[in-house]
Structure 1
Amino acid sequence: MPGGNEPRSYYVGMDVGTGSVRAALVDQRGTLLAFADQPINQWEPQFNHHEQSSEDIWAACCVVSKKVVQGVNLHQIRGLGFDATCSLVVLDKQFRPLPVNPEGDSRRNIIMWLDHRAVSQVHRINETKHSVLQYVGGVMSVEMQAPKLLWLKENLRETCWDKAGHFFDLPDFLSWKATGVTARSLCSLVCKWTYSAEKGWDDSFWKMVGLEDLVTDNYSKIGVIGADVKGHGLACEGQPVTSRLAVICGTSSCHMGISKNPIFVPGVWGPYFSAMVPGFWLNEGGQSVTGKLIDHMVQGHAAFPELQAKATARGQSVYAYLNSHLDLIKKAQPVGFLTVDLHVWPDFHGNRSPLADLTLKGMVTGLKLSQDLDDLAILYLATVQAIAFGTRLIIEAMESAGHSISTLFLCGGLSKNPLFVQMHADITGLPVVLSQEVESVLVGAAVLGACASGDFASVQEAMAKMSKVGKVVFPRHEDKRYYDKKYQVFLKLVEHQKEYAAIMKGD
């Protein structure tokens, strides 16, 4: 490592989210020195079809990387790390974009992670009850890659499937663009493509679901594995690393927990061996479009224009304004008690975990005739609480299967919202740890770049030197009884929704 008077080493972390590309320049101590972001295009040609352009995303990556390295000696930039959504990128044999749409628009060559076009395909895949499904929570999600691949084969055979040379998970596409190497990451293939770090690909699965053409040439179209990063044990302030649940909360929320031995959790993805921390098994729970749901509820409310005007006048984001407005109207009671008779079930885009039911819908009970700013603030609060109750449901499923979770580690855009963080602490009853660097996802990507540079012996060493705990938010245990009652209502909501569906289907 550079010492004394030697020049500093820098690393670039790049985070390709659903709506934008963000980049940061980070030094060897994990200090974020420069930041840039750039929006990326999305297309929704029909309901539940969501597409992007790999060329547009790569252009945005180039824009932000040039911005963050301005004024820096490029020889001091030692590594680059990417993280990205698990969207599917399709290229032909010459690495040119292929259309993933009936219109034949080859610019739109990405099926986004949140795309739900492959509903019938995922049902058929799950009906096979193939043994690989044990490792994705018992049933495969429509957001994974196999159903999307099958949809392309069945719907765009001539314009896309027959011409395809390469199917990439988006982060692997980005590393190929940066290096020219087509090797895939173990994390992507294990988590979204059914690869096993212990056994490799299972030919019988691909043949059984009708994608036998991918088996040829040793799966060259979907994945030659790159070098695995070998690591050591993780130190963890007196608590085993297996007691931590990382919650990455942005457009959606992902819940990442690890164990020494495989734990099978119904409705929770995994166990995936060595997919996140070498030598440990990963379980990944998730809630689809949580950040987008909050936006949807707030922006669709009649009082939103008034909220926007007031927030702008005060120079605040709409959410900072809503948080302060809730403090004004709560009077003597804790802010969470404002939703005593307003309850939300948050699965407006189906349930990823632990119910694994993409047919579920959103529910709100307790609406009034008024639609003023107070009503908007309380609906926003109820939505944030509903997302936290969803996290509690995932934790309970993981713990009943054998996990033991004592701490939440939150990162991502929503972790910057103090109300979102406090509600997660209060509703789960667990302390929430926040990184010292609020852009911890970008620092995490830079940590991987630092490890790739060879400046650190392992990911763990790079993490220890470059990431630090910022603060811990503790639950208000005196409010536990209130949230336990709201959680009972939360569980009743989905129970009732299933009953309503059964009534409507009945004779």
Structure 2
Amino acid sequence: MSPTDKFIIGVDVGTGSARAGVFSADGNLLGSAAHAIAMNKPKPDFVEQDSENIWQSVCQSVRDALAKSNIAADQVAAIGFDATCSLVIRDTDNRPLGVTPGGADNWDVIVWMDHRAIREAEECTKTGAKVLEYIGGTMSPEMELPKLMWLKRHHRQNWDKMGAAYDLADFLSFRATGSNDRSCCTITCKWTYLAHQKYPWDRAFLDQIGLEDFPAKAGIDRKALGVGDLIGNLSDRGAAELGLTTDCVVGAGLIDAHAGALGTLGEYLDGNLDERFAMIAGTSTCHMALSSEPRFIKGVWGPYFGAIAPGLWLNEGGQSATGALLDHIVA
């Protein structure tokens, strides 16, 4: 390796840990590290995490991976984040806001598998809104809008204090850069953002479910960036915490399973996509298929435009408890 060579860091935040890898331009892994993430389960169906704890685990993983790779911080040209589709709630000063009444404010993340918002998800489905066609006709409690509905109804004090709400991958980009830009992947797949439309929010649907104020309140009312599009350079604070330099740039991230699908299917984007789909296994298993035209399939999430690659549509099925079920059996 030459001192002038440039390298890339990928960060993957799963349900139980944060992992970082340092890669050469041709894809060789030079060093990697992982650190666990704390989890809180205050009652049945409630699963919470601490965004600052997640960020600290990310930073430590990046620093450790960099040390193992034997390259200098100023050789890292870019960093990108993927993460679970968990919901991060912050106040107007971007400090953590607790997501459960009576709970501590540091537990500011409603984890993707949290099912507190089953009733709210059912209400979304009952509207019969056209936007539901793009999520298989049924709203899942694992998506962000039912969780926001629950928060507005059951923890109004913190809803009123809320100044920003992030999908976790977007929160990590924010902590790294200070930019509030969002990824097309996250808000298309989990927030009912219709990336293929000039006006991507279905305002009538938001009115029906009592979230007419949410895009502006959550800081999510600007155009989303395509996957990998430039968000900006690391901020002074982000660079210091990650052990990198402000010359390092950050690209718009993805949901963790979707990053796996890009890695699995990326080689075939110019070929016959009908011949392949990706199965991404972890706590859950996601079945991901790409197509050049939208496909509406009842009970299957999508079609999502641009959620993995520009100009392509994604459909997503799967099972929420696969790896988690195996963990339970082993325990």
- TM-score normalised by L of structure 2: 0.84
1:139 matches 2:138: yes
What is the letter of the counterpart of residue 185 of structure 1?
A: S
Cα distance in structure 2, aligned partners of 1:287 and 1:114 = 11
Deviations 1:271-324 (A, max 9, x none): 01111111111101121021010111222xxxxxxxxxxxxxxxxxxxxxxxxx
Equivalent residue for 1:221? 219
Deviations 1:325-344 (A, max 9, x none): xxxxxxxxxxxxxxxxxxxx
- After superposition, the Cα gap between the structure-2 partners of 1:16 and 1:229, relative to the gap in structure 1 and judged at 3 Å, is closer
Q: Which amino acid aligns with 1:201?
A: W
How far off its partner does 1:213 sit?
Answer: 1.7
Matches within 5 A, 1:278-357: 278-299=310-331
Matches within 5 A, 1:106-117: 106-117=105-116
**Residue 163 (structure 2) aligns with:** 165
What's the counterpart of residue 211 of structure 2?
211
Q: What is aligned with 1:8?
A: 5
The alignment yields a C-alpha RMSD, in angstroms, of 2.1
Does structure 2 retain, via aligned residues, the 8 Å contact 1:230–1:278?
A: no
Contact conserved, 1:189 with 1:223, CA < 8 A, in 2? no
Aligned AA (1:23)? A
- Aligned to 2:142, the other structure's residue is in SS state coil
Tell me, yes or no, if structure 1 residue 69 matches structure 2 residue 52: no
1-structure distance, mates of 2:93, 2:31: 36
Q: Give the Å deviation of 1:227.
A: 3.4
Question: Is residue 158 of structure 2 the alignment partner of residue 126 of structure 1?
Answer: no
Distance 1:198 1:204 in 2: 18
Change (3 A) 1:230 1:142: closer
Query: Which letter does structure 1 place at the counterpart of 2:226?
Result: D
Judge conservation of contact 2:184–2:227 (CA < 8 Å) in 1.
Answer: no
CA distance in 1, matches of 2:209, 2:128: 10
Whether the 8 Å CA contact 1:186–1:275 is kept in 2: the answer is: yes
User: Which one of 171, 184, 187 corresponds to residue 182 of structure 2?
Assistant: 184
Change (3 A) 1:242 1:78: farther
Structure 2 SS opposite 1:69: helix
The alignment-based identity, stated in percent, is 44
CA offset at residue 104 of structure 1? Answer: 3.4
Aligned to 2:251: none
Distance in 2 of aligned mates of 1:81 and 1:66: 15
User: In structure 2, what residue type is equivalent to 1:15?
Assistant: D
Equivalent position SS for 1:279: coil
Residue 225 (structure 1) shift? 3.2
Q: Do the aligned partners of 1:196 and 1:273 also contact (CA within 8 Å) in 2?
A: yes
Alpha-carbon distance between aligned partners in 1 of 2:144 and 2:3, rounded to the nearest angstrom: 46
Alpha-carbon distance between aligned partners in 1 of 2:210 and 2:139, rounded to the nearest angstrom: 15
Match of 2:309 among 272, 277, 295: 277
- Are the counterparts in 2 of residues 184 and 223 from structure 1 also a CA contact under 8 Å? no
5+ residue gaps, structure 1, are: 300-507
Offset of residue 236 of structure 1: 3.2
Cα offset, 1:235, TM superposition? 5.9
Q: Which residue of 2 aligns with 1:430?
A: none
Farther off after superposition, 132-141 or 242-251: 242-251
Moved over 4 A (4+): none
- Determine if the alignment matches structure 1 residue 60 to structure 2 residue 82: no
Q: Which has the higher strand share?
A: 2
Q: In 2, distance between residues paired with 1:237 and 1:187?
A: 17
Distance 1:157 1:220, change over 3 A: closer
Matched position secondary structure for 2:119: helix
Residue 38 of structure 2: aligned partner: 41
Deviation at 1:230, TM superposition (A): 8.9
Deviation per residue, 1:410-454 (Å, 9 max, x gap): xxxxxxxxxxxxxxxxxxxxxxxxxxxxxxxxxxxxxxxxxxxxx
Shift in CA distance, 263/237, structure 1 to aligned 2, threshold 3 Å:
closer
Which residue identity does 1:32 align to in structure 2?
A: L
Task: Letter of the 1:247 partner, please give it.
Answer: M
1:22 is aligned to 19
SS in 1 for 2:12: strand
Is contact 2:182-2:225 (8 Å) kept? no
Corresponding residue of 1:467: none
How much does 1:8 deviate? 2.0
8 A contact 1:97–1:107 mirrored in 2: yes
Q: Give the match for residue 384 of structure 1.
A: none
Q: Which amino acid aligns with 1:17?
A: G
Cα distance in 1 for residues equivalent to 2:87 and 2:99: 10
Conserved 8 A contact 2:36-2:57? yes
Deviation digits for residues 64-99 of structure 1 (CA, Å, limit 9, x no counterpart): 111111242112101101110000000001000001
Shift of 1:243: 2.2
Counterpart secondary structure, 2:156: coil
Q: How many residues end up aligned between the 2 structures?
A: 292
1:240 aligns with 2:237: no
In the other structure, the counterpart of 1:104 is 103
**8 Å CA contact retained: 1:242, 1:259:** yes
Structure 2: how far apart are the matches of 1:139 and 1:286?
14
- CA gap 1:178/1:123 in 2 versus in 1, 3 angstroms: same
Q: In structure 2, what is the Cα distance between the partners aligned to 1:146 and 1:230? A: 25
What SS does the corresponding residue of 1:101 show, helix, strand or coil?
coil
3-state SS of the aligned residue for 2:317? strand
Q: 8 Å contact 1:191–1:270 — kept in the other structure?
A: yes
SS of residue in 2 equivalent to 1:224: coil
Letter of the structure 1 residue corresponding to residue 137 of structure 2: G
Contact 1:100 1:156 in 2 (8 A): yes
The alpha carbon displacement at 1:222 in A equals 3.1
Give unmatched runs, 5+ long, in structure 2.
230-264
Partner of 1:497: none
